[in-house]
Amino acid sequence: MIRYALSLFILVLLALAAQQFIPSLTGLYNARLLLVTLVFLCASVTVGPPVMLALAFVCGFLWDAQCTLGPPGGDAEIYKYPAESLRFGYSIILYGVIGYLMQGIQPLFREGKWQFSTILVGISIFVYLAAEYLSINFIRGGFAFNEATLYQIAATSTLTMLFSPLVFWVLFFIAEKFGHEIRFEGLKKKQQQRRRRTLA
């Protein structure tokens, strides 16, 4: 369990590094593949609440640290109208919320019905992005939610969701290497093997 949990933290760091090289798709409402969030959500359904909360803290901290580097709101020479920035640490709370969403469907995932988890990944990312945008609106002191923003959030959620089976496959591979069972089926097989050994 400990080796599997440590591997998840390493996977998050690799995702954070890879995120820097993933461009936004201008032809798809500037949608982006949120790799760090995707890895966190897929990992959240394979572990218990303590590890999930630790991952939420690490992901949220690193994400906010990355976004707050440099002058607030961006470089004044580049951004004529600097964007309002949220308080450092808000991502930790949002990651915790969407992590608990994934935890709610964990029993189905452990039964081998990972397809529900894939759909929930898209829903969780939509909730995360919508909550983030609404928080920025609250800081601005106004509310503006146009169709372009809705399309961008929906496209980003859908794009990221499409890559979740690949991340689940990586997690299954890592779990098998470190002997961490994330399915009830695997636990049953082990119990059956132990019974056969004792009977023999």
Per-residue confidence band for 13, with pLDDT thresholds at 50, 70 and 90: very high
Q: Nearest Cα to 15, choosing from 41, 42, 34, 43?
A: 34
| pLDDT of 59 over the 60 cut | yes
Domain ranges of the chain: 2-199
Q: What is the CATH number of domain 2-199?
A: 1.10.1760
Q: What is the Cα–Cα distance from 87 to 9, expressed in whole angstroms?
A: 24
At 86 the pLDDT is 63
The residue among 45, 37, 39 whose CA lies nearest residue 64 is 37
72 versus 102: the higher-pLDDT residue is: 102
Contact criterion met (CB below 8 Å) for 60 and 94 = yes
pLDDT band at residue 81 under the 50/70/90 scheme: very low
Query: Does the pLDDT value for residue 25 go beyond 50?
Result: yes
Q: What is the mean pLDDT of residues 51-70?
A: 86
Mean pLDDT across the chain: 84
Percent of the chain at pLDDT > 90 equals 51
Residues 164-184, mean pLDDT to the nearest whole number: 89
User: What's the pLDDT at 192?
Assistant: 55
Give the whole-angstrom CA distance, residue 156 versus residue 34: 8
pLDDT one-digit tens code per residue, 131-153: 988 888 887 777 777 888 899 99
| Selected residue with higher pLDDT from 198 and 70 | 198
- SS3 per-residue string spanning the chain: CHHHHHHHHHHHHHHHHHHCCCCCEHHHCCECCCHHHHHHHHHHCCCCHHHHHHHHHHHHHHHHHHHCCCCCCCCCCCCCCCCCCCCCCHHHHHHHHHHHHHHHCHHHHHCCCHHHHHHHHHHHHHHHHHHHHHHHHHHHCCCCCCHHHHHHHHHHHHHHHHCHHHHHHHHHHHHHHCCCCCCHHHHHHHHHHHHHHHHC
Question: According to the model, what pLDDT value does residue 80 have?
Answer: 44
pTM for the model: 0.82
172, burial (CB in 10 Å: exposed 0-12, middle 13-18, buried 19+): middle
